[in-house]
Chains A and B, each alone.
Chain A
Amino acid sequence: MSVKLFDGNSAAVEAIRLARPGVIAAYPITPQSGIAERLADEVADGRIRAEYVRVESEHTAMSVAVGAQLTGVRVATATASVGLALMHEVCGVAAGCRVPIVMPVVNRSLASPWSLWCDHSDTMAERDTGWLQYYCATVQEVLDLTLCAYRIAEHGDVLTPAMVCLDGFFLSHSMQRVETPSDEEAWTFVGPYVRKNMYLDPEDVMFVNALCPTFEHTEMKYQQAVGFERAAEVTKDVFSEFERRFGRKLSTVECYRLEDADVAVVTIGSMSGAARYVADQLRAAGVRAGVLRICMFRPFPAEEVRQALKNVKVVGVVDRSSGLGAAQGPVCSEVKAACYGESPRIFSFIGGIAGRDISDISFRRIFGELQEVCEGRRDVCTRWFDASEDAMNIREVETPC
């Protein structure tokens, strides 16, 4: 183990290199380009002994990944934003064919308005396509969760692909200290890829993903659902083993000062450290504040969330995607459902869209509103907490053009 400096993209590449993939197919897209480019460097310089397939789109990248991994080789790819949207169809194929691909996704807003910057609209749109989803809070976690994801996704009881989600720019381009295992230490943990289900023999090819009759389809979906149930248990086992080997604790949900909390925020992704920072400040000022950070979003750890929040009086859930048309943001919907029948009042907060910074200032404001609710001085919270007051006047057009 040694301390290295990585940005999030380089940490993802390092994790992929340590897992020794045999085939790589990636299409560059901001802010993931660093992954696609550095993977190519690693192959060119012989540090990864893989075939790098240059593809013309993300749809093809995932198609190559599915086909290659079915032959019994670990495959690497990565994407972001509209690239993930273009992959959507084939993501479902990977999941349904139980091909346990591990894919870093660098979170970036979905069009439109066109943006290069971070929010979770891309991966939230994929939340029900049959992939595991882990959201990183730090660059260290990009490395750690990617290594763990191989073990979880490829586990014989799971066989479900996994997205490791890292916030565009806030993590992908942020240089941070990363404790990095040696090649040997990592390989002892990840191990070689072993195919455990349907496979393709290149010498005797067969048709995969043929039409499935109605009388079997429900059962196939049920098998996937069972895979998700097992993934929740396997994730905990793998996180425990990871901690024993490497000394770093990973949690499906991270509870911070929640035991006696009156007010709490629920966070996901790189915003989470700022929430803890503000909770510490509020605690020092006598406010009983806590934070629940969700790392594993799929499968959703509903029971853990319920246990963590059931005694909190007022909860604010911060979504980094708009959840247009829904009753609240997607993370908040899950949290509310998990806490159904329990007493906390739960409010949806939506912000940090398309690169808008979520800082300690944001959390002071959010906690402030939650405290006012707690003290009976407020009934409604400002859902779009960082939108400007003149939002409806932005780019207003008086005459049709």
Chain B
Amino acid sequence: MQKIKFYGVGGQGAVTAAKVLSIAVCLYQDEYAVTVPVYSHERRGSPVYAHIIVDDQPVLLNCYVYEPDIVVVFDDDLIDMGVDVAEGCSPDTVLVLNTRRPETAERYRRAGGFRRILTCDATGAAVKTIGLNIPNSAMLGALARTGVVSIDAVGSALRDAFGKAGEKNVNAAEYAYEHTQDA
């Protein structure tokens, strides 16, 4: 079982990404996933969360994730918005971070004690491939580097979820997958 928590800000598509991850795992990896998004006072720019539990067995838990194995941060400003992305984490928790600044990754490492941090300029990847600064599909590409989901499954799920815009989003995910690095 892998417990994953997504942190984003409203408008970045983090909740949509969680749903696409569910499609990838359930339909294209023949495993099980339960996604529980958190909807609060919805407005662009406020922090949003989604919780995903992935397993090769049917998932019993239909609740939030409190001790994540993987944390995915869609916006590197979250550390300055009073959001504690390290909550419930252990040193073994893997952080997947959307950033283009190595020093920001180090700030996250100091704050959370993460031993492994994967970084990707997902926003840059989205601008380059889609023409929009919405990093959600690119972040799924970066997440595929952890091995919890394959990049092919992500691609198939993105085609399902985005219809006409599917191919561009697949490009974003694949570009990000190629450009994700261990910090």
Q: Give the residue name and chain of the B residue nearest to A116 (CB).
A: B39
CB-based contact B63/A175 at 8 Å: no
Nearest CB of chain A from residue B50's CB, rounded to whole Å = 10
Stretch at the interface among A64-72, A84-92, A282-290, A357-365: A357-365
Q: A3-B27, A5-B23 are in contact. Are A173 and B61 (CB under 8 A)?
A: no
Name the distance in Å between B109's Cβ and chain A's nearest Cβ: 27
**Across the interface, do B60 and A277 meet the contact criterion of CB distance under 8 Å?**
yes
> B119 within 8 Å of A by Cβ?
no
Alpha-carbon distance between A5 and B161 when the two chains are bound, in angstroms: 11
B37 to A273, Cβ gap below 8 A?
no
Check if B148 is an interface residue, CB within 8 A of chain A.
no
Tell whether, in the assembled complex, residue B22 and residue A274 are in contact, meaning their CB atoms are under 8 Å apart: no
Asked whether A5 lies within 8 Å of B63 as measured between CB atoms, the reply is no
Question: Is B122 interfacial (CB 8 A cutoff)?
Answer: no
Quick check: which of B28-36, B71-79, B100-108, B164-172 contacts chain A, the rest being far away? Answer: B28-36
Bound CA span A174–B63, Å: 10
- A277 and B59 CA atoms in complex are apart in Å by 9
Closest to B64 in A: A357
The answer to whether B35 touches A175 (Cβ under 8 A) is yes
Please encode chain A, from 258 to 281, with 1 for each CB lying within 8 Å of some chain B CB and 0 for all others: 000000000000110110110000
A361 to B39, CA, bound (A): 21
- Is A177 close to B, CB under 8 A? yes
Given A273-B61, A360-B63, A361-B66, residue A5 in contact with residue B37 (CB < 8 A):
no
A300 near B: Cβ within 8 Å? no
Find chain A residues with CB under 8 A from B19 CB. Answer: 5, 7, 175
Question: Known contacts A169-B37, A173-B39, A176-B34: does B23 contact A359 (CB below 8 Å)?
Answer: no
State A5–B21 Cα separation when bound (angstroms).
11
A361 nearest in chain B by CB position: B66
**Whole-angstrom distance between the Cβ of B23 and the nearest chain A Cβ:** 5
- Interface flags for A338-369 (1: CB within 8 Å of B; 0: not) read 00000000000000000001111100000000
Q: How far is the CA of A349 from the CA of B66 in the complex (A)?
A: 22
Please, which residues of chain B bring their CB within 8 A of the CB of A7?
A: 19
State whether B62 touches A5 (Cβ < 8 A): no
The count of residues in chain B whose C-beta lies closer than 8 Å to any C-beta of chain A is: 21
A23 at the interface (CB under 8 A from B): no
Please name all residues of chain A whose beta carbon is closer than 8 Å to the beta carbon of B183 when the two chains form the complex.
none
Could you say which residues of chain A place their CB within 8 Å of the CB of B23?
A: 5, 175
User: Which of B22, B36, B61 touches A360 (beta carbons < 8 Å)?
Assistant: B61
Interface centre among B33, B34, B61, B62 (most CB of A within 10 A): B62
CB-defined contacts of A31 to chain B, threshold 8 Å:
39
Contact assessment for B39 and A274 in the assembled complex, using a CB-CB cutoff below 8 Å: no
| A residues contacting the other copy or chain, number (CB 8 A) | 27
Is A273 a contact partner of B60 (Cβ separation < 8 A)?
Answer: yes
Neighbouring B residues of A4 by C-beta, 8 Å: 27
Residues of B within 8 A of A176 (CB): 22, 26, 33-35
Query: Is the Cβ of A174 less than 8 Å from the Cβ of B61?
Result: no
Chain A contacts of B32 at CB under 8 A?
177
Complexed CA–CA distance, A83 and B73 (Å): 36
Q: Which residues of B (33-53) have their CB < 8 Å from a CB of A? A: 33-39
Contact B61 A277 (CB under 8 A): yes
Given A3-B27, A5-B26, are A273 and B62 also a contact pair (CB < 8 Å)? Answer: yes
**Which residue from chain B places its CB closest to the CB of A173 in the assembled complex?**
B37
Task: List, in ascending order, chain B residues with CB within 8 A of A138's CB.
Answer: 62
User: CB-defined interface of A148-191 with B at 8 Å, one 1/0 digit per residue?
Assistant: 00000000000000000000011101111100000000000000
Q: Evaluate contact between B62 and A271: CB separation under 8 angstroms.
A: yes
Q: Which residue of A lies closest to B38 (CB)?
A: A169
Q: Are B37 and A274 in contact (CB under 8 A)?
A: no
Q: Is the CB of B62 within 8 A of A171?
A: yes
Residues of chain A within 8 A (CB-CB) of B39 are 31, 116, 169, 173
* A-chain residues with CB within 8 Å of residue B64 when the two chains form the complex: 357, 359
| Pairwise interchain contact B33-A175, C-beta atoms closer than 8 A | yes
Would you call B36 and A358 a contact (CB within 8 A)? no
A175 cross-chain contacts in B, Cβ below 8 A: 18-19, 22-23, 33-35
Please provide the chain B residues from 76 to 110 with a CB less than 8 Å away from any CB of chain A in the complex: none
Specify which chain B residues have a CB less than 8 angstroms from the CB of A361 in the assembled complex: 66
Q: Complex formed: what's the CA distance from A173 to B64 in Å?
A: 13
Q: Are B60 and A174 in contact, with the CB atoms below 8 A?
A: no
Is B63 in contact with A358, judged by CB distance below 8 angstroms? Answer: yes
**What A residues does B33 contact at CB under 8 A?**
175-177
Q: A359 to B88, alpha carbons, bound, how many Å?
A: 14
Task: Name the interface residues of A223-278: CB closer than 8 Å to any CB of B.
Answer: 270-271, 273-274, 276-277
Give the residues in chain A near B62, CB-CB below 8 Å: 137-138, 170-171, 174, 270-271, 273-274
The chain A residue with its CB closest to the CB of B19 is A175
- In the bound complex, CA of A138 to CA of B26 (Å): 15
Q: Which residue of B lies closest to A177 (CB)?
A: B26
**A5 proximity list for chain B (CB < 8 A):** 19, 22-23, 26-27
**15 A-B pairs (CB sep. < 8 Å):** A3-B26, A4-B27, A5-B22, A5-B27, A31-B39, A138-B62, A175-B18, A175-B33, A175-B34, A176-B26, A176-B34, A273-B62, A274-B63, A277-B60, A357-B64
Not counting A5-B22, A5-B27, A175-B18, a sample of 19 additional A-B residue pairs whose C-beta atoms are within 8 angstroms of each other reads A5-B23, A31-B39, A116-B39, A169-B38, A169-B39, A170-B62, A173-B37, A174-B34, A175-B23, A175-B34, A176-B33, A177-B26, A274-B61, A274-B62, A277-B61, A357-B63, A359-B64, A360-B61, A360-B63
